Amino acid sequence: MHASIDQLEMLNLFKKKPKKKEPPELMDLDGHPLMEGDEVIAQRYDLGKCKVALEGLQYFYVSDDPENKVSYIKMIDAITGRQKVKKVIEEEN
């Protein structure tokens, strides 16, 4: 016995599941993954050492001066697609 299209639609078999919105995956110039709270050295906008902050679904680089905040979109390297920052990696002794 074959089900009609109307019967299948009623069972939600053809219904698209909404995509879960997530923030983008970021990588520094050296290929290290970046996450909220990471410390980085920015290569642009005279930010220097700053932290990665997440607001909603968008990342920002925030320097010690809270007024100095730059969106991750402005830090994309056109050639590699990576961020123009270098992750501060603490070495274990």
> Where are the domains positioned within the chain?
24-87
Q: In this structure, are residues 41 and 85 in contact, taking their beta carbons and an 8 Å threshold?
A: yes
Alpha-carbon gap, residue 16 to 26, rounded angstroms: 28
H or E element at residue 27: strand 26-27
Give the bridge partners for 41, in sequence order. 49, 86
Report the predicted TM-score, pTM, of the whole model to 2 decimal places: 0.73
Alpha-carbon gap, residue 76 to 85, rounded angstroms: 9
Alpha-carbon gap, residue 65 to 58, rounded angstroms: 19
CATH 1.10.3470 correct for 24-87: no
pLDDT digit string (tens) for 32-84? 999 999 999 999 888 889 999 999 999 999 998 767 899 999 999 999 999 99
Predicted confidence (pLDDT) at residue 19 exceeds the cutoff of 90: no
Q: Looking at per-residue confidence, does 2 or 29 come out higher?
A: 29
The pLDDT of residue 5 is: 59
